[in-house]
Structure formats: structure tokens, C-alpha cells
């Protein structure tokens, strides 16, 4: 799935990129449902706008800075509040141009101390959204709408997350929440409730007030103790940026005011790694399947055993009918055992086995990733396999 390029830098192999692309498609679908408009900003940014916002210094060692051939200072943007203010400035003039929700799927650079593989890397992809408002109530409504959309997204992806009230720290603003996923060997300690998603972590709030097994203070359920990692963070930024950067709108009464902002980030590779960690077993990955579908790199693996003609022909037919761009057809010299192991290692939801059973009965043996088996006629297989596609039911 991934290959190291040195401390904190990762590349994705074809199989890893397949999974990432399915996740990105779903992220775009979710953003489209909440009327987000996709944009694309540069990652390199000149110093001036960061001076204006007051953040050039505040990222300290975590921001990569450099100079161009003419000696001008630039940074590799660790987040894009400044850029988004610049993008909408001049395009948004009046209260009735608002609210606006823009997002991008963009590379972020942070000179963080690498740890936990993809979790703290120096370069990563973020799906970051930014909203602009003429009133507190509009900001609050969009904040809640995106919060709910992100929680649905995590459900669709089969990810367990808790919501932790958080500090705004370097982002600024008035309110923020983190989406924190319980995993083994995470970077934070978490107490959370599986029923209502209440969470408290050692990074934000008073973890020591709670133990695993305690009653949930929100719903009375039972708290679980776990290590965890952050997969998303949403902020009511208020006028933190617009005030300093001069982004105002005219109101109905003829006065003008600083625009209110929210920002909403999800770490893409982090999310991939977290889903993988929550579901892996001793045979390898095991990408979850929900009513939405699955981000597994392939929806099925076809394993023909032996080389008689009907096996080969049926394998080709299944390949064509199950979605050839999304199905792995094993060929080459390797043994059936090696193919089974590779399919399980990659977390492919089902193996379509054409072996003795097929030769005797004409039925395909389906071995699901959880070890269950079933049999179906070659004609019935495509429909069965379609539920493992990404986004079949629209997310």
C-alpha cells in the first residue's frame, strides 16, 4: 500500500492509491451534498498574507519556509485560511452572496516529528473546507451541518470515531471539535462512549476525570478507554482571519461587518490508515463494507485454479461483468495459496474461486474476507459483488 521515502514522507503504490482515490471520491460526494464548491489553491505561499493574519511566526518549527531565486520568503502552507480569504475576497461583497462553502483536496506540509507511519507525516493530503458567513447563526448552522455530514462519512467508511471538544490553538476562533478514532498505539489517550460519541482526550479536556467503564456523562452509556488518533478537526473561527485581512461584507441595513468563518479539515491518508488499523486482523487488511460500499482497493479477487478452458473463460466473463476496473484477476504462476493470501493481505472483500467446486457444479465459490463462504452461479456473482463497490448507493 505504502512505501517510505524517508522520515515522515510516504508514497502510495497502485493498490494504496486505488484505495485513496475511492476515499477521495466519497469525500467529494459528501462535500457536494452540503453544497461545497471545490477549488484549488497553491501550497507555496508568499510571506505577506501570513504576516497579515499574524500566523507567520505562530506555526514555529512546524512550518516549512524557503526563499525563491529572487530572495522572497515563502512557506509551504500548513493550512489554507489565509489563501481562502484571498480567494473569496472581492467575489463576496454582500450578505446575499453568503453563506459560501469552498473546499479543496490539497497537499499540506508540516514539519512535524514523524511517528505512527502515515499519521504524522511531513506531507499529507487534507480535505479542507472553509465557510464564510454574514451572521453567527449562519455559521452555527453550517458548522452543525458539516459536523453531521462528517459523522455520516465516518459511518459510511466503517470508522468508529468520538467527538472531543478541543482547543482552537493556532487556528484561532471560538469553538472547535476533534474527530478522534480509537486505535491501538495511537498518539493520544481517549475515553469515549460508543453510544453517543462523547469523548475526552489527554490533549483536550480533563482525561483524568474519567476511567474506562465509567458512565458516559452525556448519555449514561459506558465509557471505553483506548489510545486514539485525530482524523478530523472542525472550527468556528469567527472573525479571527477576516478582521486582520480586511474581509468584510455589506449587510442589509447598509452597514458592513467582518465576515465570519468556519474551517473543517479531514486528514486523508490518516483516515485511510485509521480505517485499516481498526479493521485489520492477523491475515492483513480487512476494509469494512457498509451500506455505502467499501474503499477496498478491489471489490473482488478472481482466483482461477488450473487452466482448463471453462475455468479460464468463466474467469474472463466474471472479470468483464463484475467491473473490470475494480476487480483483480489473478494470473501468472503463483499458487492458489499465494493468491488467497495476497487477496486477504490487501483486504479485498471477497475471493471468487474457480476450482473443484466449479468444475463439479458450475458454481463459483465465494470466500468472504471474514472467512464465511457461499456459492453462486456465475450469472449471480456480479450483483453480489456490486455491494463492495465504492459509493454504490451514493453515500
Question: Does 393 participate in binding a copy of itself (rule CB under 8 A)?
Answer: no
Question: Across-strand partners of 264?
Answer: 129, 234
Contact 278, 249 (CB under 8 A): no
Q: Is 187 helix (H, G, I), strand (E, B) or coil?
A: coil
Indicate the residue among 64 and 95 with the shorter CB distance to a copy of itself.
Answer: 64
Closest CB 381 distance from a copy of itself, rounded Å: 23
Question: Does 13 participate in binding a copy of itself (rule CB under 8 A)?
Answer: yes
Question: Across-strand partners of 238?
Answer: 261
DSSP state of 147: H
- Which of 309, 325, 372, 394 lies at the binding interface for a copy of itself (CB under 8 A)? 325
Closest CB 42 distance from a copy of itself, rounded Å: 4
Closest CB 140 distance from a copy of itself, rounded Å: 24
Indicate the residue among 68 and 310 with the shorter CB distance to a copy of itself.
Answer: 68
Stretch touching a copy of itself by CB under 8 A, among 83-91, 145-153, 178-186, 308-316: 83-91
Gap between the Cα atoms of 293 and 299, Å rounded: 9
Question: Does 252 participate in binding a copy of itself (rule CB under 8 A)?
Answer: no
- Which of 3, 93, 144, 359 lies at the binding interface for a copy of itself (CB under 8 A)? 3
Packed helices 136-156 and 14-33: angle between N→C axes, nearest 10 degrees: 140
| Cell numbers standing for residue 360 | 463439479
Residues in the chain: 395
Indicate the residue among 57 and 325 with the shorter CB distance to a copy of itself.
Answer: 325
Question: Which of 206, 159, 150 shows the shortest CA–CA distance to 178?
Answer: 150
Question: Does 31 participate in binding a copy of itself (rule CB under 8 A)?
Answer: no
Question: Does 247 participate in binding a copy of itself (rule CB under 8 A)?
Answer: no
Closest CB 318 distance from a copy of itself, rounded Å: 20
- Which of 35, 46, 338, 373 lies at the binding interface for a copy of itself (CB under 8 A)? 46
Packed helices 268-279 and 14-33: angle between N→C axes, nearest 10 degrees: 110
Gap between the Cα atoms of 67 and 23, Å rounded: 35
Half-sphere exposure of 159 (CA within 13 A, CB side): 30
Closest CB 12 distance from a copy of itself, rounded Å: 4
- Which of 34, 73, 86, 392 lies at the binding interface for a copy of itself (CB under 8 A)? 86
- Which of 102, 228, 271, 364 lies at the binding interface for a copy of itself (CB under 8 A)? 102
Indicate the residue among 122 and 369 with the shorter CB distance to a copy of itself.
Answer: 122
332 phi and psi, to 5 degrees?
90, -165
377 phi and psi, to 5 degrees?
-70, 150
DSSP state of 265: E
What is the contact mask toward a copy of itself in residues 210 to 229, using x (rule: CB under 8 A)?
--------------------
- Which of 34, 39, 341, 376 lies at the binding interface for a copy of itself (CB under 8 A)? 39
Question: Does 297 participate in binding a copy of itself (rule CB under 8 A)?
Answer: no
Indicate the residue among 82 and 203 with the shorter CB distance to a copy of itself.
Answer: 82
Total Cβ atoms within 10 A of residue 121: 26
Half-sphere exposure of 193 (CA within 13 A, CB side): 16
Question: Does 64 participate in binding a copy of itself (rule CB under 8 A)?
Answer: yes
Find the binding residues for a copy of itself in span 106-125 (CB under 8 A): 107, 109, 111, 113, 122-123
Closest CB 319 distance from a copy of itself, rounded Å: 15
Query: Exposed (0-12), middle (13-18) or buried (19+): which is 70, by Cβ within 10 Å?
Result: exposed
| Cell numbers standing for residue 352 | 471468487
The secondary structure element, H or E, covering residue 330 is none
Find the binding residues for a copy of itself in span 326-355 (CB under 8 A): none
Closest CB 334 distance from a copy of itself, rounded Å: 12
Question: Across-strand partners of 120?
Answer: 115
Contact 227, 188 (CB under 8 A): yes
Residue partners of 44: CB distance under 8 A and separation at least 6: 74, 75, 76, 77
Residues that bind a copy of itself (CB under 8 A): 3, 5-7, 9-14, 16-18, 20-21, 32, 37-46, 48, 61-62, 64-66, 68-69, 72, 76, 83, 86-87, 91, 102, 104, 107, 109, 111, 113, 122-123, 325
Amino acid at each position: 500500500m505504502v512505501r517510505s521515502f524517508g522520515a515522515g514522507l510516504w508514497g502510495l503504490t497502485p493498490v494504496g492509491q486505488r484505495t485513496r482515490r475511492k476515499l477521495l471520491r466519497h469525500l467529494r460526494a459528501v462535500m457536494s451534498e452540503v453544497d461545497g464548491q471545490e477549488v484549488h489553491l497553491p501550497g507555496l505561499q508568499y510571506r505577506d498574507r501570513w504576516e497579515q493574519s499574524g500566523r507567520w511566526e505562530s506555526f514555529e518549527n512546524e512550518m516549512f519556509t524557503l526563499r525563491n531565486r529572487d530572495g522572497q520568503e515563502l512557506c509551504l502552507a500548513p493550512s489554507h485560511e489565509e489563501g481562502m480569504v484571498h480567494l473569496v475576497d472581492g467575489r463576496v461583497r454582500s450578505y446575499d452572496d453568503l453563506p459560501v462553502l469552498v473546499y479543496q483536496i490539497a497537499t499540506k506540509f508540516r514539519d512535524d516529528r514523524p511517528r505512527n507511519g502515515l499519521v504524522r507525516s511531513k506531507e499529507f493530503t487534507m480535505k479542507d473546507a472553509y465557510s464564510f458567513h454574514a451572521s453567527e447563526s449562519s455559521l452555527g448552522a453550517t458548522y452543525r451541518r458539516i459536523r453531521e455530514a462528517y459523522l455520516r462519512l465516518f459511518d459510511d467508511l466503517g470508522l468508529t470515531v468520538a467527538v472531543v471538544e478541543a482547543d482552537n490553538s493556532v487556528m484561532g476562533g471560538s469553538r472547535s471539535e476533534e474527530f478522534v478514532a480509537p486505535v491501538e498505539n495511537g498518539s493520544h489517550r481517549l475515553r469515549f462512549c460508543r453510544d453517543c460519541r462523547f469523548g475526552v482526550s489527554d490533549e483536550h479536556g480533563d482525561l483524568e476525570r474519567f476511567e474506562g467503564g465509567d458512565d458516559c456523562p452525556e448519555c449514561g452509556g459506558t465509557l471505553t478507554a483506548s489510545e486514539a488518533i485525530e482524523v478530523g478537526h472542525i472550527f468556528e473561527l469567527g472573525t479571527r482571519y477576516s478582521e486582520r485581512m480586511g474581509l468584510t461584507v455589506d449587510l442589509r441595513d447598509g452597514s458592513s461587518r467582518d465576515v465570519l468563518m468556519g474551517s473543517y479539515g479531514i486528514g486523508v491518508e490518516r483516515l485511510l490508515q485509521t480505517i485499516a488499523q481498526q479493521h485489520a486482523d492477523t491475515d492483513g487488511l480487512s476494509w469494512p463494507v457498509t451500506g455505502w460500499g467499501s474503499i477496498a482497493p478491489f471489490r473482488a479477487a478472481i482466483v482461477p485454479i488450473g487452466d482448463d478452458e471453462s475455468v479460464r473463460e468463466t474467469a474472463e466473463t466474471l472479470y468483464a461483468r463484475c467491473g473490470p476496473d475494480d476487480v483483480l484477476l489473478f494470473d501468472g504462476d503463483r499458487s492458489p495459496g499465494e493468491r488467497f493470501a495476497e487477496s486477504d493481505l490487501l483486504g479485498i472483500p471477497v475471493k471468487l474461486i474457480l476450482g473443484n467446486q466449479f468444475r463439479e457444479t458450475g458454481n463459483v465459490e465465494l470466500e468472504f474476507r471474514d472467512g464465511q463462504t457461499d456459492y453462486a452461479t456465475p450469472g449471480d456473482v456480479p450483483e453480489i459483488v456490486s455491494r463492495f463497490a465504492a459509493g454504490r448507493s451514493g453515500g
